[in-house]
Amino acid sequence: MAAEVLTIKNLNKSYGTKQVLFDINFTVAKGEVVTLLGPSGSGKSTLIRCLNGLEEFQSGTYSFEGQEVIDNKDVWRQLRQKVGMVFQSYDLFPNLTVMENILLGPTKVQKRPRQEVIVEAQALLKKVGLENYQDVYPRQLSGGQKQRIAIVRALALHPEVMLFDEVTASLDPEMVRGVLEIIKDLSQNEHMTMVIVTHEMNFAAQIADKVLFLENGHILEETAGKDFFTKPQTKRAQEFLDSMDF
């Protein structure tokens, strides 16, 4: 059995007096792909942001490779080098070229040699079909190209875990497939540990080792990926799949 990388126990999250996550418990094993599914407003994005320290939680524990994560800025800064995240909004620096965007974290934060990172970045860009775009600025890129650059930027930090939060939500349908193929490759060929929030049901069915189905801040069921889409454990999950025309 693969070692646990992330362990969440009794996590509760509130915004003021409004609680949005309730007693969340789950684990993510090395090389495992966990997808967070559920209707809009169920708490999926809030939960995944808690895994990268972008949202504070009020109680519960979060452990990374067996060590409890202490709520401290320096601790989170170090952890973010191991737990990469890609958002639906790309978040590329508009005043930097593609290559400069990729180099920023590895050279400034990790203090790695610039030339070493350039060579690696060029290889990653080639892998996502953008090897000729290293000197281009984000404004000159399509949405799908920006998202692929955002993934490369995260991978350049050598993360042990990747978090993807609705990375295709703002893309035109024809651009979605290319981004999803990159994530699928990370799973099947790189055996990357991943937690993914998505509304792409066919993609989730192909890639998920485990599905967490959320509604109103609760995990209603935790099911093996191969089973969730054919025999979900709850009526609510079946209703959700029916509504998605899966």
The values of phi and psi at residue 86, to 5°, are -125, 130
Q: What is the pTM of this model?
A: 0.93
Confirm whether 18 is domain-assigned: yes
Domain identity same for 149 and 191: no
DSSP H or E run through 230: none
Domain identity same for 19 and 32: yes
Confirm whether 87 is domain-assigned: no
Domain identity same for 151 and 34: no
Euclidean distance between CA atoms 235 and 143, whole angstroms: 37
Confirm whether 29 is domain-assigned: yes
Domain identity same for 214 and 165: yes
The predicted structure's pLDDT at residue 159: 94
Domain identity same for 237 and 167: yes
Is residue 119 packed enough to be buried (19+ CB in 10 Å), middle (13-18) or exposed (0-12)?
exposed
The predicted structure's pLDDT at residue 1: 64
Domain identity same for 43 and 145: no
Query: Where residue 61 sits, what CATH number does that domain have?
Result: 3.40.50.300
pLDDT tens digits, one per residue of 24-71: 999 999 999 999 999 999 999 999 999 999 999 999 999 999 999 998
Say whether 193 sits in a helix, a strand or coil: strand
Residue 30 · residue 7 · CB < 8 Å = no
- Containing structural domain, residue 134: 92-158
Confirm whether 132 is domain-assigned: yes
Domain identity same for 175 and 228: yes
Domain identity same for 177 and 76: yes
β-sheet with 18-29: strand ranges across: 18-29, 4-15, 59-64, 67-68
Q: Over 106-147, what HEC string results?
A: HHHHCCCCHHHHHHHHHHHHHHCCCCCCCCCCHHHCCHHHHH
Strands 4-15 and 83-86: unpaired
User: Which of residues 107, 134, 158 is at a domain's end?
Assistant: 158
DSSP letters for 22-46: EEEEEEEETT-EEEEE-STTSSHHH
Average the pLDDT over 16-29 and give the result. 97
Domain identity same for 164 and 226: yes
User: Which of residues 158, 178, 207 is at a domain's end?
Assistant: 158
- Beta-ladder partners of 79: none
pLDDT tens digits, one per residue of 28-41: 999 999 999 999 99
Residue 4 · residue 171 · CB < 8 Å = no
Count: domains in the chain = 2
Average the pLDDT over 84-100 and give the result. 91
The predicted structure's pLDDT at residue 244: 86
